[in-house]
C-alpha cells in the first residue's frame, strides 16, 4: 500500500471516530431521543417535499456550472452526459471514495468518455470548485454584514463566526494571489523547484482562459449562486418541517458557517459535526430546541443523500466503471 493510501486510510478512520463520537454525544440523552421521535410524528411532509424539490434544483444548477466550465475548456460533451457524470460524482462523493471521490470519478469519466487529457478533465473540476468557492465567499460576506449582530449573540456563536471570517480572509488572499499571478503572467516566473510548479502553470492558463470567456464565467457564477441559495433553502425547509422557530434570514445567516466547517475533513461527509453546529447555532440564536435542530440537520442532509442515490442508479447503468485502484487526482507527471 502506498504512503498516500495509508494517509487516506488513517484520515478516514479518524473521520469515522469523530463522526461516531459526535453522534453519540448528540444522541446520548434518552429524553432528547424521545422528543425527536415525537417531532418526527408531527413532521409536515409538505416542507420535506419542498426541500427535495429545492435541493434538486440546486443539483441541476451545480451540473450546469460544471458543464459551463467544460464548455470554456472546449471539452466535447453533451449536456445530458454532463448530467449523468455529475450525478455519478455525487454518488461517489457520498458513498465510495470520500470527500474527493466524486472529483476522481468525474475526471476519470471525462477522460474516458470524451478523449480529453487528464489535466483538462481535472482542471474542469478544479475550476468548478473555485467558482463555487468564490460564490460562497461573496455570499458569506454579505450574510456577515447583514446579520453580524444576530451571529454574535453568544461567545460560542461569535467564535464560530470569527472562524468563518478567518477562513474567508485566507480564501480571499489565495484568490487575490492567483488573480495577480494570472493578470501579470507570473506563473512561468515561479521558482523551478517549487512543488507542483507545472500544475500551477497549467492552472494559471486555465484561469486566463476563463477570464477571456468572461460571459460564460459570469453565467457559471450566477448559476453557482442559485445552487448555493437553494442548498441553504433546502435546510430551511427541513427546519420548517418540524415547526422550528427560525426565519429564512436566520437560516441563511448560519448556513455559511455550517457549510465551511462541515466541508473540512473532520468527519465523514460532515455527519455529526453538522448536527452539533445546528444544535448550537439555532439553539443559541433562534431558540430552536436541540432535538428539532438535530432533526433539521439530518433531514436536510438526507435530501441530498436522495440525489446521491439517484447518482447510484445512473452509475449502475453507465457502460464503464471506475477501476478498483482509482485514487485522488494527481497533479504531477501528467
> Is residue 110 within 8 Å of residue 75, measured between CB atoms?
yes
| Predicted local confidence at residue 99, as pLDDT | 57
pLDDT at 333: 31
The DSSP symbol for 330 reads P
Can you give the pLDDT at residue 325? 44
List C-alpha distances in Å: 185 to 144, 147, 178, 189: 34, 39, 10, 8
**What are the residue boundaries of the structural domains of the chain, listed by start?**
45-317
What pLDDT score was predicted for residue 97?
55
18 CB burial (10 A radius; 0-12, 13-18, 19+): middle
Q: In the chain, which ranges are continuous DSSP H helix?
A: 3-27, 30-41, 45-72, 79-95, 101-114, 118-151, 155-183, 197-212, 214-240, 248-263, 273-286, 290-317
pLDDT at 38: 93
Contacts of 53 (CB under 8 A, 6+ apart): none
Q: Using CA atoms, how far apart are residues 286 and 162, in angstroms rounded to an integer?
A: 19
How high is the pLDDT of residue 332?
A: 33
pLDDT of 324 reads 43
Q: Decide: pTM greater than 0.75.
A: yes
pLDDT digits (tens, 9 = 90+) for 186-232: 877 888 888 888 888 888 888 989 999 999 999 999 999 999 999 99
Cell, residue 12? 478516514
Tell me the CA distances in angstroms from 284 to 14, 32, 45, 143, one per residue in order.
Answer: 29, 17, 26, 18
- Residue-level pLDDT at 199: 83
Mean pLDDT by 10 residues, the chain (334 residues): 68 76 77 87 96 97 97 94 94 72 88 91 94 95 95 96 95 86 80 82 89 94 97 98 95 97 86 93 95 95 94 82 44 32
Amino acid at each position: 500500500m502506498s504512503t498516500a493510501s495509508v494517509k487516506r486510510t488513517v484520515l478516514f478512520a479518524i473521520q469515522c471516530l469523530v463522526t461516531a463520537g459526535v453522534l453519540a454525544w448528540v444522541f446520548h440523552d434518552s429524553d432528547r431521543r424521545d422528543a425527536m421521535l415525537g417531532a418526527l410524528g408531527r413532521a409536515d411532509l409538505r416542507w420535506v417535499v419542498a426541500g427535495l424539490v429545492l435541493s434538486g434544483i440546486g443539483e441541476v444548477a451545480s451540473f450546469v456550472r460544471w458543464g459551463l466550465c467544460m464548455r470554456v475548456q472546449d471539452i466535447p460533451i453533451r449536456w445530458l452526459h454532463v448530467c449523468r457524470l455529475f450525478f455519478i460524482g455525487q454518488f461517489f462523493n457520498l458513498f465510495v471514495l470520500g470527500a474527493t471521490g466524486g472529483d476522481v470519478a468525474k475526471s476519470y469519466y471525462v477522460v474516458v468518455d470524451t478523449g480529453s487529457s487528464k489535466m483538462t478533465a481535472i482542471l474542469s473540476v478544479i475550476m468548478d470548485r473555485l467558482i463555487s468557492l468564490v460564490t460562497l465567499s461573496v455570499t458569506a460576506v454579505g450574510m456577515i454584514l447583514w446579520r453580524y449582530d444576530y451571529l454574535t449573540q453568544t461567545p460560542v456563536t461569535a467564535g464560530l463566526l470569527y472562524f468563518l471570517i478567518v477562513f474567508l480572509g485566507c480564501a480571499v488572499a489565495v484568490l487575490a494571489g492567483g488573480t495577480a499571478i494570472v493578470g501579470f503572467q507570473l506563473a512561468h516566473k515561479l521558482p523551478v523547484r517549487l512543488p507542483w510548479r507545472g500544475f500551477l502553470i497549467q492552472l494559471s492558463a486555465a484561469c486566463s482562459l476563463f477570464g477571456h470567456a468572461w460571459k460564460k464565467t459570469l453565467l457559471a457564477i450566477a448559476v453557482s449562486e442559485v445552487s448555493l441559495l437553494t442548498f441553504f433553502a433546502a435546510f430551511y425547509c427541513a427546519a420548517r418541517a418540524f415547526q422550528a422557530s427560525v426565519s429564512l434570514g436566520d437560516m441563511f445567516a448560519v448556513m455559511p458557517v455550517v457549510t465551511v466547517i462541515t466541508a473540512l475533513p473532520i468527519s465523514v461527509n460532515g455527519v455529526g459535526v453538522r448536527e452539533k453546529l445546528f444544535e448550537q447555532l439555532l439553539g443559541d440564536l433562534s431558540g430552536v430546541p436541540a432535538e428539532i435542530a438535530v432533526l433539521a440537520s439530518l433531514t436536510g442532509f438526507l435530501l441530498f443523500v436522495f440525489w446521491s442515490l439517484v447518482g447510484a442508479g445512473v452509475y449502475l447503468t453507465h457502460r464503464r466503471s471506475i477501476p478498483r485502484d482509482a485514487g485522488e487526482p494527481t497533479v504531477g507527471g501528467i
